Amino acid sequence: MKIAIIGTGYVGLTTGTCLADFGHQVTCVDNDPKKIEKLKQGKSPIFEPGLEELIAKNKQTGNLIFTDEIGPVVKDSEVIFICVNTPPKEDGHADLKYVEKVAREIAENINGEYKVIVDKSTVPVKTAEKVKETILRYSIDQAKFDVVSNPEFLKEGTAVKDTMEPDRIVIGADSQKAKEKMLEVYKPLIDKTNAPVKIVSVRSAELIKHGANTFLATKISFANLIAQTCEEAGADALEVLEAIGLDERIGRYFLNPGIGFGGSCFPKDIAAYKKTLEILGIDSSLVESVQKINESAIEKFLQKIEKELWVIDNKEIAVLGIAFKANTDDIRNAPALKLIKKLKSDGANIQAYDPQAMENAKKEIPDIKYFDNPYEAIKGVEALVICTEWDEFKNLDLQKIKELMVTPIIFDGRNIFNPAKMKELGFRYYGVGR
C-alpha cells in the first residue's frame, strides 16, 4: 500500500519506518527541512534503539521516502497518518492547531480517490469529527474519505519493539470500508505476530489512549504515595509494592516509586483527560490527585537533599541522568531538569552526565558543567544525585565513586542500588521509600 506519514516525531518516524519494513511504500512528510535532510541521509534525529538501522535499511529498499512537500504525497497515498504534536495549553486542553493545519493541507490536496485519514496523534474524544469537518470544509474536489482513530502505545526507549511486537492494535472506525483498509495496513504485522486487534468506534478509540496513560500514571503516583507512607512509618516501599504487585489483579508493572513521571505523554495526556472530564461534567479529583502526588515526589526528594546537605550554596553536586527515562534522549518534563534548576537557584554548582540527553539539556540549561563520562562528573563533589535509571549507572564502580567524592553521599531518585550494600560500602544513601 502507499502510505503517508505526516509528522516525523517519535510516533510518526517509528510508525512510518516500521510500516515500510512491513512492505508498504511509505512517505514521511515533515515541515522541518533540516530534519528531512538528515533523514534522507539515513540518520535519525532522535535517539531510539534500533530505529536508525531500520531507517537505513528501508531507505535502501526504496520503501521509505522523506519529503517536506505534502501535496503530492496526499494525492498519491491510500492511507494518510496524522502524527503531529498535540502539546498542552495552559488550561490542560490539548492544542490541536497542528492537527487542524494538517487537515486543511490534506483538504487542499485531496483528490477524488477514496482515502483513509488516520488520527495517530493522541487527541481528545471527538477530534476525528472535527478533522472530518475541516477536510469537508476546505476540500476543492468531491473528497471521498473516512477518518479513523488508531492510537499508539509506544514507550520511548522501546518504540521499535512496541511497534513490531504490539500487545494490541486498536482501530477506531465507523465504516466497514475504513475497517477493511486499516486491517490491510496491519495485515503483515497481524500475520507475523498474531497481535490482538480491537476494532471499536472512533470515539472509543480516542478515549483508550488517554485512559491507558492516566491509569499508568495513577499506578506510579500510588507507588509514590506508598513510598511516602513507608518513609514515615519506617517500612520499605520496594518490599511493600513487590508484594502488592504479586496480586494478578494489580500487577507489578509501573509500581515503582521515584522522583515522578515526565516525558511528552503522561503529563499532557492526563491533563487533557482531566479537561475532558470537566467538559463532560464528571468529577476529576482522582486525576488531580495523581498530578499533585507526582509534583510532590520531586519536592520531597529535594527536601531530603536540602536536609542532609544543610547549606546548598556553593556546594558541588553531581547529577547522573537528565533524560526523563532510560534509553531516550528526551528531556521533556524530565524531573532532572526541575531538580537541577532548583539546586542552581539555591547556589549549587552542578556537574552533569547523561549517556544520550546532554545535547538537548545544554539547550535548556547551558550554564552547568557537562562531562563525557560519569566518573568525571562525580570527581570532587559533595553529593551525587541519580535521576535516570540507565543501566550504565547500575554498573558503576562504587568503590571508585567513593574515592572520587569529597563526601560519599548519594541521593538515588530511581532506587537502583541496595541500601544495605551502600551502607556497608560507607555511603550515606537516600532512596525513595527505602
Alpha-carbon distance 104 to 266, whole Å? 28
C-alpha cell at position 46? 532522535
Q: How far apart are the first and last CA of the chain?
A: 53
Of the candidates 365, 366, 360, 283, the residue with the CA atom closest to the CA atom of residue 323:
360
Residues 6+ positions from 195 with CB-CB distance below 8 Å: 165, 166, 167, 168, 169, 186, 189
Nearest of 71, 104, 101, 109 to residue 84 by alpha carbon: 101
Distance CA 326, CA 315 (A): 27
Dist CA 244 CA 223 (whole Å): 10
Return the DSSP state at 88: B
Of 110, 129, 116, the closest CA to residue 181 belongs to 116
Residues 6+ apart with CB under 8 A from 37: none
- Residue 190, classified by CB atoms within 10 Å of its CB into exposed (0-12), middle (13-18) or buried (19+), is middle
Residue 162 dihedral angles phi and psi, to the nearest 5°: -65, -30
Measured distance CA(165)–CA(188) in Å, rounded: 12
* Rounded-to-integer distance, Cα 15 and Cα 169, Å: 13
Pair 66, 115: CB distance under 8 Å? no
387 in active site: no
Give the Cα separation of 206 and 264 in Å (integer): 18
393 neighbors 336 (Cβ within 8 angstroms): no
Catalytic residue among 28, 230, 265, 387: 265
Catalytic residues: 265
